Amino acid sequence: DGGITQSPKYLFRKEGQNVTLSCEQNLNHDAMYWYRQDPGQGLRLIYYSQIVNDFQKGDIAEGYSVSREKKESFPLTVTSAQKNPTAFYLCASSTGTAFGEETQYFGPGTRLLVL
Amino acid sequence: SQQGEEDPQALSIQEGENATMNCSYKTSINNLQWYRQNSGRGLVHLILIRSNEREKHSGRLRVTLDTSKKSSSLLITASRAADTASYFCATPHYGNNRLAFGKGNQVVVIP
């Protein structure tokens, strides 16, 4: 099956702890994205990557970090500097051939909760 | 920043009725997309309409685009309970080569 997987489905973070959310795709897409969604809100872009070993900050990058060492993988780390991390996190990918005009394919999401 | 803004924010209808939601945007665009999100799930792409198209159909979906008014509408005809979801419009954010999503319309279809 082709698609995007995210794990875990639920993640609990203790205060002061860093946690990493996984995102993997087998669609052979160059571009990958991380969004944060708060209840009743739209999507806010955290980070995006247009190609391996390169990524750019989105609108709310503070308190988050990413890496793009492989085309298939784009993990997101929520650091202890992110003081309000409780949210639904969505990963997406697109072909990367026409940025801003492409269909994005989304994973099922990870819900992060603070203990 | 979010460019697309949907209106109305929440809609409750009976099964079989039509549902219409709108999206406005601020800058010129080449295309506009609509996505659906079922509760607790990821978004699913529904339809893309280009700036040179005024209307586009996909099954029970009809999308219009009025570039002079910088607005788009999504019509779901003969709604079903399975159409219960949030619907988002997305426009190109050319400055950063990515999409800007609106805040979404929540649609509840009552069986």
Q: What is the pLDDT of residues A68-91, one digit of tens each?
A: 999 999 999 999 999 899 999 999
Which whole number is the average pLDDT over A19-47?
94
Q: How far apart are CA A102 and CA A42, in angstroms?
A: 19
From chain B, the residues in CB contact with A44 under 8 A are 2
B48 in reach of chain A (CB within 8 A):
yes
Residue A40 has pLDDT above 50, yes or no: yes
Q: How far apart are CA A73 and CA A23, in angstroms?
A: 6
B97 and A100 within 8 Å at the Cβ level: the answer is: yes
Residue A24 amino acid letter: E
Say what the pLDDT of residue B8 is.
52
| Tens-digit pLDDT string for chain B (111 aa) | 234 566 557 899 999 999 999 999 988 888 999 999 999 999 999 999 999 999 999 999 999 999 999 999 999 999 999 999 999 999 988 665 688 898 899 999 999
From chain B, the residues in CB contact with A33 under 8 A are 98
A90 and B42 within 8 Å at the Cβ level: the answer is: yes
Closest among B25, B24, B8, B22 to B108, alpha carbons compared: B8
Q: Which residue bears the tokens 């954010």?
A: B93
Say what the pLDDT of residue A2 is.
65
CA distance B62 to chain A (A): 18
B99 in reach of chain A (CB within 8 A):
yes
CA distance B85 to chain A (A): 12
Closest among A3, A112, A44 to B44, alpha carbons compared: A3
Strands (E) located in A38-106: 43-51, 54-57, 64-66, 76-78, 87-94, 105-106
A101 and B104 within 8 Å at the Cβ level: the answer is: no
